[in-house]
């Protein structure tokens, strides 16, 4: 009986280690300024939106984000309208989703799609932001 309990303990410990490792990403490789731009003609008027996503690291597992979204709509005179939002990132990653917490992206169920290699040995040239169902279109952010 002691041998069974001991083996069970070893298996449980190993599974906990493996589970915690799958949630570890190299988030520091995403720190910096990221840009997304989209422009469309709607009803004969050009409308464009530029989004700047700023990711900062405060310490291990402690990341924040800030959004600067500039919309220019020709229908309303083409004057730039700028909105700001900020929040944090969830500390734990699950299903390769690094979730925003608070701010515009967090309130819409936004997350960064984390690749299977967790950005372990490189800085990505782009990141993909997705949202929960009916909360927004996917966005591909690039470094400038």
pLDDT at 92 over 60: yes
Rounded Cα–Cα distance for residues 21 and 16 (Å): 9
Rounded Cα–Cα distance for residues 143 and 3 (Å): 55
The reply to whether 19 falls in a domain is no
Confidence of residue 4 (pLDDT cuts 50, 70, 90): low
The reply to whether 48 falls in a domain is yes
> Is the pTM higher than 0.75?
yes
- Contacts (Cβ under 8 Å, ≥6 apart) of 42: 75
Rounded Cα–Cα distance for residues 44 and 32 (Å): 36
Domain enclosing residue 126, as ranges: 26-142
Q: Which residue has the higher pLDDT, 35 or 10?
A: 35
The reply to whether 124 falls in a domain is yes
For the chain, the domain total comes to 1
User: What value does the mean pLDDT of the chain take?
Assistant: 85
The reply to whether 88 falls in a domain is yes
The reply to whether 81 falls in a domain is yes
Q: Tell whether the torsion through CA atoms of 71, 85, 55 and 23 is positive or negative.
A: negative
The enclosing domain of 65 has a CATH number of: 2.40.128
Task: Tell me the average pLDDT across 100-108.
Answer: 97
The reply to whether 2 falls in a domain is no
The reply to whether 1 falls in a domain is no
The reply to whether 11 falls in a domain is no
């Amino acid at each position: 009986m002691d041998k069974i309990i001991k083996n069970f303990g070893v298996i449980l410990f190993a599974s906990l280690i493996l589970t915690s490792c799958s949630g570890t990403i190299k988030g520091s490789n995403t720190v910096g300024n990221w840009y997304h731009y989209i422009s469309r003609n709607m009803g004969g008027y050009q409308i464009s939106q530029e989004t700047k996503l700023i990711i900062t690291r405060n310490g291990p597992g402690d990341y924040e984000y800030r959004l600067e979204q500039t919309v220019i709509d020709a229908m309303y005179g083409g004057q730039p309208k700028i909105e700001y939002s900020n929040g944090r990132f969830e500390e734990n990653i699950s299903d390769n989703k690094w979730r925003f917490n608070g701010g515009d992206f967090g309130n819409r169920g936004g997350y960064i799609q984390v690749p299977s290699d967790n950005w372990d040995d490189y800085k990505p040239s782009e990141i993909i932001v997705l949202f929960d169902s009916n909360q927004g279109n996917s966005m591909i952010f690039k470094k400038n």
